[in-house]
Structure 1
Amino acid sequence: MPERFLGIDTSNYRTSAAVYDASSGAWRNEGGLLSVPEGAIGLRQSDALFQHTVRLHEKIGSLPSGEVRAIGVSTRPRAVEGSYMPCFLAGESVARSAAHLLSVPLFAVSHQQGHIAAAALSAGRLDLLDGSLLAWHLSGGTSELLLVRQGEDGLPGCTCVGGTTDLAAGQFIDRTGALLGLPFPSGAALDKLALQARPEKGFAPKVADSRFSLSGMQNQVENRQKAAEPAQLARFALETVANAVVKASDQAVRRYGGPILCAGGVMASEVIRARMREAFGDAVYFAEPALSGDNAVGAAVLASRLYERMKT
C-alpha cells in the first residue's frame, strides 16, 4: 500500500512540488527555475513571489494524483529565529489550504532542512538523519557547513560550524558567470565550461575554524578575465571554491568527525565533487544533480518521518 506524501518548496529561484512514497522510496519532482531577465543576477522578492503564485498549480497538477498521508512545505530559508523570505508564502498558502481540504497533517520545515533530507534520500542514506553528521549547504544564497543532529521536534537540527564569512559560493559563481556572459543562475553552465579546461589549482583562500572569505576571490577572477580563456577562468573559480570547501571540511572532520553530506545547487558541480571524493572517499555523500538544487522532495521526506513520529 503506497504511503504517499506531498512536498512543496517555493525558494528564491525555483518552484517545486513533489510526491514521495515512503513504502518504496520512489519520488517524483516537478520543478522549474523562475525567469530572470537577461543580464540580471537575481530577482526581487515581489517578482519571485508572483512567479511562484502563477506556476505552483502547474507543478502540482503535473504530479500523479492519489491520496497523500501528509504535506510538508518549506516556510523559511533556515530553522533559526528571524529567517524569512516572502517567496515561501506562495508554497505555504497552497499547502495550508490543501491540508485543510484533504484533512491531512501539515508539517512546516525549513528550506535548508529539506536540502539535507533530499541529499540523504538521494545518497540512499536516510539513516544519516538519525545520527550526527556534517552537511554542506552550498547554494546561491547560503554557504554553510552544518553540524546536524536530530532535534527534539524530529527534524534535522542544524548548527553552523563553518562556511563563508561574506560572499556565498553561489554568488561568487554567478558573478563569475556574469563576467563570462553565462545565463543566471550560472552554476551548471560554469561547471560545463570548466570541465573543458586544463587542470587548474585555483586560489587557496585562508581557512580558519572551517570559515573562509570569498569576496576577495571576485577580484582575483576579474584580474584574470582579460588574460585567461573563458574555460580556464571558470575552472579557476570552481577550483578556488573547492579548495576552501575541502579545507573547511577537513578542519570540521578533525573536530566533530564525519560523515559529510553535500547538498545545495553548488554541490552539483562535478569539479567540486571530484575534489571532495579525492579528499574524503567513502565518507562523503552527494545528492544526484536533480536533488542538489532547490526542490520539494526533501520536504516530502521530512513529512513522512514526522507523520510516523506522530503516530507513535
Structure 2
Amino acid sequence: MKAALAFDTSNYTTSCAVFDGESGRNAGRLLHVEPGKLGLRQSEALFAHVRQLPGVFSELKHEGEVLAVGASVKPRETEDSYMPCFLAGASQGRVLAQALGVPFCAFSHQQGHIAAAAWSSGCMELLDTPHLAWQISGGTTELLLVRPQGAAVACDIIGATTDVSAGQLIDRTGQLLGLSFPSGKELDALSKQSESDACYKPKLDGLYFSLSGVEHKVKQLFESGAQPADVAAFALRSLVSVFRRVTERAMEKYGDMPVLFSGGVASNSMIRQAMAGALFAEPEYSTDNALGVAILTYRAVTMGG
C-alpha cells in the first residue's frame, strides 16, 4: 500500500497518521496534565511529545511504501504563527523523510483540521470548493472563509472571539465543576442531565464576539448554587447561540455555502444537534489528529501541488 505518513504535535495531543488516498488511520495520545492544571507550558508539551512519539508512531504499524512525509509545523498559515510544541512532529517528519528519500510536506495545524473534517464527514470535495469553516478548540475560535489552494486550502479569518476561546470556556467551566482536563467530554455528558434552557447571548460586532462575558455569567451561576448540570448546559447553550448567529450573518455576507465544523469543541453533541445542516467531522477527527496532514501530504505528491 502506497501511502503518506504525517505527524501533528499540538498543545494537547501527540498524533501520527497514514493515508493511502481512500482510507486512513490515526494514532493519538493526549498529553498528561496534572489534576487541577489547565494545560502545559510549551516546554513541557515539547518534552512530552518527544517522549511519546515513538510509542504513538508504532501503533500505526504501516508496512507499505511511503510516498511522502508531512507534519503540522505551526498553528496557522500566517507568517507570525508559531508554537514550539509543533517542532517535535516537524523535526521527526523531516528526519524520516530524509532517511526514506521522499518529499517532506509542511502544513498548518489549521489546514490539517479542515482536511480531516472534510474527509471524515464524507465530503472531501470541500477541499476543492469555497466554504465556511468553524475552527473551535482550546486555542482557537475562528470562522474561516476557506478556498482551494493547490492540494491544500487557504484560510481567511472572517470572524472570531476577541478574548476567551470556546475550549478555554469549556475547560474553565469544567474546572469550576471539578471535572478533569480537558473537560469537553465530561461537560458534554453532564449537560445532558439538565432540563434548563437558559443561556447568555453575547453582543456581536459584525462577525466578531467576546466570550469573557459568558465566562463571567457561568461563574455567577455556579456561585449562586445552581446544579452542575445546569451550569454545564448554560455554558454550552451560550456557545451555540454565538455559532448560530455568527453563521447566519456570514451567510448573509458571503452567500449560501457549506459550513464545516472542526476542532475539539466540534465534537460536542449539543453543538452538533443545534447546527442543523452543517457538516461535522466524526468525533475522533474533530479533536487534534494527524490524519488531515496525511491527507494533504498525499494530495500534494499525487496532484503535484
Same fold (TM over 0.5): yes
Deviation at 1:20, TM superposition (A): 1.1
Distance, in Å, in 1 between the alignment partners of 2:288 and 2:66 is 22
Select the residue among 81, 85, 91 that pairs with 1:87. 85
SS in 2 for 1:57: helix
> In the alignment, what sits opposite 2:213?
216
SS in 2 for 1:198: coil
> In the alignment, what sits opposite 1:146?
144
Cα RMSD, aligned residues only: 1.1
Select the residue among 165, 168, 178 that pairs with 1:181. 178
Tell me, yes or no, if structure 1 residue 290 matches structure 2 residue 284: yes
Tell me, yes or no, if structure 1 residue 119 matches structure 2 residue 117: yes
Tell me, yes or no, if structure 1 residue 43 matches structure 2 residue 36: no
Deviation at 1:198, TM superposition (A): 0.9
1:126-177: CA deviations, max 9, x gaps? 11110100000000010000000012x5321000001211111111111100
Select the residue among 43, 56, 60 that pairs with 2:53. 56
> In the alignment, what sits opposite 2:239?
241
> In the alignment, what sits opposite 1:128?
126
> In the alignment, what sits opposite 2:261?
262
1:170-198: CA deviations, max 9, x gaps? 11111100000011111111111111111
Q: Indicate the percent of aligned positions where both proteins have the same amino acid.
A: 48
Check conservation: 2:146, 2:155, Cα contact below 8 A: yes
Check conservation: 1:163, 1:248, Cα contact below 8 A: no
Deviation at 1:208, TM superposition (A): 2.9
> In the alignment, what sits opposite 1:167?
164
> In the alignment, what sits opposite 2:228?
230
SS in 1 for 2:180: coil
Distance, in Å, in 2 between the alignment partners of 1:156 and 1:186 is 30
Deviation at 1:309, TM superposition (A): 2.2
Alignment: residue pair count: 302
Unaligned segments of structure 2, at least 5 residues: none
Check conservation: 2:10, 2:288, Cα contact below 8 A: yes
Check conservation: 2:50, 2:88, Cα contact below 8 A: yes
